[in-house]
Chain A
Amino acid sequence: MIKAERINFSYGNQNVLKQVELSVEKGCFISVIGPNGSGKTTLLKNLCRLLQPQSGEVKIDALSIKAYKPKMLAKKMAVVHQEIQNTFDFNIHEVVLMGRYPHLKALQNESAEDLKIVEKTMHLTGIHHLRHKSMSTISGGERQRVMIAKALTQEPDLLLLDEPISHLDLKYQLEVLKLCKSLNREKQLTILTTLHDINLAARFSDVIILMHHGEIVKVGPPAEVLTSELIRNVYEVDVTVIHEPHLLVIPH
């Protein structure tokens, strides 16, 4: 689905990504974890062409990401960013409708089909009842779901999320991740998300990528990546990992 081939990225002379190799299979739920400054967000931005690696290449469906036209790429993958700007207020319906942009030609009005897709994604993300409200009057969790609905309206094969739950309380954290999981299971949407919470990553992901100082330390199922030695090496924290009933990482 998406592949990174030995990508290097630096801001000025600071190497943020070093020889990163990664391959995401279709239908997977992948979390990227790692301490602050480990390069998670930079990796994500390289994967969606917001940043371009100095060397190496990102490929989507075996084709270099550079070959994609902007709208073509937006039909393949949607991105939910960490922060959203809300200088001027839109209502929820207008925001979700923006997701149809890559499918429309200049000056083409949304068809009944487009509107139906918008309705569907609003139902799917549980925001349909909010559609007349403006972005500034809804809660953080609702706003995040609106952004996910907008991303889904693009009808992508791949959804990238950058810290989608970092500003949310526990209830909304679970709600957003559960939504992602069900999209992943029911719609075969491939999901790659950066996460801070190791335990939530363990609970929801098929594969975890552990990053440290711009390098991928380990890739694998949660049980293989989340070991006390690796976590001590990367996070410099002593932890106990228990496996029953769920995998759980408990700091000392």
Chain B
Amino acid sequence: MEIQLKRRNNFIKITLLLAVLVIMAIFAVTQGNVKISVPDVVKITLGLDDSTTIKASHSFIVMQVRIPRILLSLLVGGMLSVIGTIFQALFRNPMADPYVMGVSSGAAFGATIGILFGVGGTFLGMGMVSMLAFIGAMITILCVYQLARVGGKVSTTGILLAGIVINALLSAAISFLMILFHNEIDRIVTWTMGSFGAASWEQLGLIFIPAIVGVGYMMTHARELNAMVMGEDEARALGVSVDRLKKVLLILASLLSAFAVSVSGIIGFVGLIVPHFFRMVFGSDHRVLIPVSFLGGGLFMLVCDTLARSLLNSMEIPVGIITALFGGPFFLMLLQKHKRRSEGI
């Protein structure tokens, strides 16, 4: 049967993707200012290191710096891509990204306040700047959601518009603060371009459960999302509880993006482009699209972050710059190829 064949093909592709991801992750551990060989990395991670052959500093770099950072970039990349997939489906809008509900500007505003007032200390293992970013994002989500609510229903156009307006408003506020306190401009700007520089096991622990539970939940609603793409009325006619689904997924997805932003700053492009990339490769069926976006988004982010920390010796490049600078041309190339193929040239 054709469908069995298709399922098996998809299974093979997903397995391949997973294999590439593991290989890339191991390779990424060896990269950086200090190069560490693959056998050493394997020994360290398996706990077989003895201080005679492997330097203590290497073991520290691998276990406390690189591995948490790599896992965090995989998780954040995967989350952002799945969130983008969900928003694009819910809004039936190819321009939707994880930040449609104002998460990016809300988080940036929170972080700006944190940076300007020099709030220090940690809360639940999160730096105060991250914490304020998370709070800022949550408040914005609630505002956008309330603004877009008419009666018991949320209008998707309403969300898009309210999101744009709130984004503009908060961006203006941030710019104003930056002009007032221009000494801190660097730190604010760097934060808004994203980085995994502060990655730690605590951060990973903080977002791991929300990410896995959230993405898992979204995957169980893949079929409903397929129906939603055809239009809300279509989905209703098929027996999907559209209003409930919309509410739950909107809130869950923005909550996840707030988590992502609070550990890594605003990393653009990934959540917008990765879903489109995999739609071209695997088609629009969300039962396949969600898992491959998760794996593929993670892989993409891992590659970008590895470049971000190893391209320049003197400094680290904010990862948001890499995602767009390298991902952009690659995506445009694919788009051209896809266009030609669908036009039969």
Contacts and interface: CB of A to CB of B under 8 A. Distances in A.
A50 interface: yes
Contact of A95 (B224, B230, B236, B237): B230
Interface in A57-88: 69-75, 78-79, 81, 83-88
Contact of A79 (B3, B93, B237): B237
Given A88-B284, A101-B223, A106-B220, A154 B231 contact: no
Contact of B230 (A71, A85, A112): A85
Contacts of B231: 81, 83-85
A87 B229 contact: yes
Given A87-B93, A137-B342, A70 B241 contact: yes
Contacts of A235: none
Contacts of B88: 87-88
Given A87-B94, A90-B284, A102 B238 contact: yes
A85 B237 CA distance: 14
B216 to A, nearest CB: 11
Given A74-B237, A88-B279, A94 B230 contact: no
Nearest to B284: A88
Interface string B270-306: 0000000001000111000000000000000000000
A115 B283 CA distance: 19
A84 B226 contact: no
B285 A94 contact: yes
Interface residues of B, number: 29
Interface in A93-146: 93-95, 98-99, 101-102, 104, 106-107, 110, 112, 115, 137
Nearest to B219: A107
A166 interface: no
Contacts of B233: 50, 79, 81
B74 interface: no
B89 interface: yes
A10 to B, nearest CB: 15
Given A94-B283, A94-B285, A85 B238 contact: no
A48 interface: yes
A89 interface: yes
Nearest to A110: B3
B153 to A, nearest CB: 12
Nearest to A104: B223
B50 interface: no
B238 A98 contact: yes
A166 B244 CA distance: 32
B143 to A, nearest CB: 27
A15 interface: no
A121 to B, nearest CB: 14
A55 interface: no
Contact of B237 (A81, A91, A104, A110): A81
Given A95-B230, A98-B238, A88 B220 contact: no
A49 B243 CA distance: 13
Contacts of B89: 88
A20 to B, nearest CB: 21
Contacts of A73: 239
Contacts of B92: 85, 87-88
A30 to B, nearest CB: 18
A72 to B, nearest CB: 8
A110 B287 CA distance: 12
B238 A90 contact: no
Contact of A101 (B1, B93, B240, B342): B240
A107 B221 CA distance: 8
B227 interface: yes
B234 interface: yes
A115 B93 contact: no
A91 B239 contact: no
A37 B88 CA distance: 33
Contacts of B224: 101
Interface string B226-265: 1101110110111111000000000000000000000000
Contacts of B230: 84-86, 90, 95, 98
Interface string B16-44: 00000000000000000000000000000
Contacts of A115: 1, 3
Nearest to B229: A88
Q: Which 6 A-B pairs have the closest CB atoms?
A: A74-B239, A71-B239, A102-B239, A79-B237, A85-B231, A70-B239
Interface of B: 1-3, 88-89, 92-94, 220, 223-224, 226-227, 229-231, 233-234, 236-241, 279, 283-285, 342
Interface of A: 48-50, 69-75, 78-79, 81, 83-91, 93-95, 98-99, 101-102, 104, 106-107, 110, 112, 115, 137, 151, 154
28 contacts: A48-B237, A49-B236, A50-B236, A50-B237, A70-B236, A70-B240, A73-B239, A78-B237, A79-B237, A83-B231, A84-B230, A84-B234, A85-B231, A85-B234, A87-B92, A88-B229, A89-B283, A90-B283, A91-B283, A93-B2, A93-B3, A94-B226, A101-B223, A101-B227, A101-B238, A106-B220, A151-B237, A154-B238
Given A70-B241, A87-B93, 8 more contacts: A70-B239, A84-B230, A85-B92, A87-B88, A88-B88, A88-B229, A101-B223, A107-B220
